[in-house]
Structures are given as C-alpha cells and as structure tokens.
Amino acid sequence: MIHKKCLKGSKMKRNMLVLMAVSLLLLVTLLSATQANAAQTGQWITHYTITDLGTGQILYDSSTPSTALPILAGAELGISITVNVAVSNPTSALKISTSLNHAVTKGTYWELQGTYEGLSGFTYNPNQNYVQFNQTVGTLQISCFGVIPSGITVQSGLDRKVAATLVSLTDPTNAELDAVSIQVTDAKINSFDALATAAFTKLQELNDSGVDPAYLTLYQTVVAGAVSQASAGFVDNGITVLQQLASAEQSYSPTSTSTAFEATLFYPAVIALVVVVVVVGFLMVRARGRVSYDKLVIEDQIKDLEGLTLRASRIDKNLTVSLESVKDRLKSLVEVE
C-alpha cells in the first residue's frame, strides 16, 4: 500500500512539473513578444526616447528599457535621438531618415537640438523625411516627429505585431549604420495580451490551490489554443476563447477534490471548461477554412464530453483519461498547418 501511494505521489509530482514547465514556456513566449518593444542602442545612436505626442507620455527610453510601454499603430510619436560621431571623415556624408508619415500635431519631421558642425554645407529642410550631414566628430541631437500607419499590424486579414524601423542612419552607400527599431502593436493585440496574462496568473493559482491535474491540463490546453490563434493572426478568436474561459471561471470556481463533496462542486467547473475547449477547436477549424471535415471531428468530441458528464459521480481515473483524450485530439487540431 505504501509503495502504491509513493508511486501515485511521484506520478502527480511529475505531472505538475510538466505542467509548470509548459506553462513557463508559454509565458516566456508571451512576454518576449510584448516586452521587446525596441532595439538596444548601437555605436552611433547612443540614446533615444520615444514619446506619445498626444499624451506626452514616454513610451520607451533606451536607458531604461524595462519601463517600455506598448507602441500602437496609428500613434503620433516624437523621437529624441542622440547620434555620437566618434571619428571624422570629410568625404563621408551621412543621412538620418524616417519612414514615418507626417504627424498631425507637428508640421515638420525634424527639430534640431543645439548645434552640430557636421550640418554645415548642407541645406537643412525640417519638412523633408531625411537630414544629411558630414561625418564630423561631435554629437548630433535631433528630434523626429511622425505617425505610424494605422493599418501596419493587419496584413491579409491577419492581425500581428510587426517590427518597424522608425529612424535609420546610413552611410554614403546607403548601408545602415544604426537605427531606431520597435515592435508595433495595436489595441486589439494589447487586449489579448492582458487576457493571456490574467489566464496564466489564474493557472498558477489553480496549481497552487491543489486542483485536479486533469482540470489544470485542460485549462492549459485552452490557453495554449488561444495563444496559438493570436500568434497566427486570429486575435479575435484568441480574445473570444480567453473571455469565455474567464467567464467560466467566474461562474464555477474549481476546488480541490480530496472529498466526495468537493468532487461534486468540481464537476460544474469541468463541464464549463470543456465547453470552452470545444469553442477552441471550432475556432481553429473555422480559421483554417476546414469546416466541412473538422466540424465532424468537433461533433465527435462533443459526444465524448457528453459521455463524460454522465460519469460525473466521482473523481476517478476514467475522468482523467477521458479529459486527456479530449485534450490530445483538440491539440492535434491546433497543430494542423
């Protein structure tokens, strides 16, 4: 008896470790996508800040990248740039340019801060999208103003974060020496990120509270499906799934299942969650345009879930096996290319 209990405890511990490892992987993927807003400074552009012209809020400061805020498509930006020229080359004319559109609140692209000897000999036109200057030892401090195109995050109906170079420093051959590059998001993607962060937090809370591993695994699969949808560009689908997941959690809060009474309370939460699992599968097949075939698969899985609820008299191995079966088949839909 002691030997069986030890094996059971060991298996439970392994399941938890696997669950936490996969959850951590998903969380790291999410955070790496949301926090890597801008590139680090280089040898030429030694410092820059990006400010929202509408609110005056600093969205990014290269000296404190950990405080970065999302930069949205359609935002009007002010970019204060410090270019350090360490070596003079009289025959080299450098160019700093921007890909931004004209900002509504500013009538020009550029505004010089102080003086820089390298600008002598060139016509400075602040309303032009580039400024030329000689490679002369010193520091060029200049501000750039512009607006990110509003539809930059949507391509062919898919909504994704995109990398964008706002300001580029090039040499006479047009080779890029340095740049201010960021990751552009939008309000819809930000909404999904907030929901996903809340879902990961809830997953950890459920894990800490001792909820049945089968429920945790199913919950994790739902979140993974939503992340998969959003990363593929179907952000609306990801939001729908996570909103339904949050709603199910509010309606039926799962508990640990150490007693028969707690098991009874646990079943409504399981039923609510498997309904969300079906939604995940349906959204996946609809997004991929395979409704005619995959809808039949979803219907088969709905039957499995109905059969599962009929056996909802107590927590046993059969429930765990059934939940795992449903999870694996729905996960195979997530992996279909």
pLDDT higher for 230 or 219?
230
Task: Return phi, psi of residue 160, to 5°.
Answer: -140, 155
Helix (H, G, I), strand (E, B) or coil at 128: coil
Query: Which of 144, 164, 185 marks a domain boundary?
Result: 185
Residue 119 is predicted with a pLDDT of: 93
Q: Check whether residue 136 and residue 62 sit in a common domain.
A: yes
pTM beyond 0.85: the answer is no
Q: Check whether residue 228 and residue 93 sit in a common domain.
A: no
Question: At a CB cut-off of 8 Å and minimum separation 6, what does 318 contact?
Answer: 311
CB 284 within 8 A of CB 276: no
Domain range holding 52?
38-185
Q: Check whether residue 151 and residue 252 sit in a common domain.
A: no
Beta bridge partners of 139: 84
CB 308 within 8 A of CB 319: yes
Query: Which of 185, 209, 232 marks a domain boundary?
Result: 185
pLDDT higher for 71 or 23?
71
Q: Check whether residue 25 and residue 159 sit in a common domain.
A: no
Residue 88 is predicted with a pLDDT of: 94
- Find the range with the poorest average confidence among 48-52, 60-64, 131-135, 302-306: 302-306
Segment 239-255 shows an average pLDDT of 75
Please write the tens of the pLDDT for every residue from 82-136: 999 999 998 899 999 999 999 988 989 999 998 999 998 898 999 999 999 999 9
Q: Check whether residue 11 and residue 68 sit in a common domain.
A: no
Query: Which of 159, 185, 211 marks a domain boundary?
Result: 185
Alpha-carbon 7 to chain mean position: 39
With cut-offs at 50, 70 and 90, classify the pLDDT of residue 335.
low
Please write the tens of the pLDDT for every residue from 17-49: 444 444 444 544 444 444 445 555 568 999 999
- The span from the CA of 129 to the CA of 84, in Å, is 20
Q: Check whether residue 170 and residue 237 sit in a common domain.
A: no
pLDDT higher for 123 or 308?
123
Q: Check whether residue 202 and residue 226 sit in a common domain.
A: yes
- Find the range with the poorest average confidence among 2-16, 63-77, 93-107, 183-197: 2-16
Tokens standing for residue 149: 């195109």
Residue 321 is predicted with a pLDDT of: 57
- For the chain, percent of residues with pLDDT exceeding 70: 60
Q: Check whether residue 29 and residue 45 sit in a common domain.
A: no
Q: Check whether residue 206 and residue 156 sit in a common domain.
A: no
Flag whether pLDDT at 13 surpasses 80: no
Q: Check whether residue 181 and residue 285 sit in a common domain.
A: no
Segment 243-260 shows an average pLDDT of 64
Q: Check whether residue 120 and residue 61 sit in a common domain.
A: yes
CATH of the domain at 61: 2.60.40
Please write the tens of the pLDDT for every residue from 146-180: 999 988 999 888 899 999 999 999 999 999 999 99
- The span from the CA of 23 to the CA of 17, in Å, is 10
Task: Return phi, psi of residue 17, to 5°.
Answer: -65, -45
Residue 113 is predicted with a pLDDT of: 93
Q: Check whether residue 145 and residue 80 sit in a common domain.
A: yes
CB 242 within 8 A of CB 226: yes
Q: Number of structural domains, the chain?
A: 2
Residue 100 is predicted with a pLDDT of: 95
Please write the tens of the pLDDT for every residue from 184-222: 999 999 999 999 999 888 888 878 877 766 667 767 777
With cut-offs at 50, 70 and 90, classify the pLDDT of residue 254.
low
Segment 267-284 shows an average pLDDT of 61
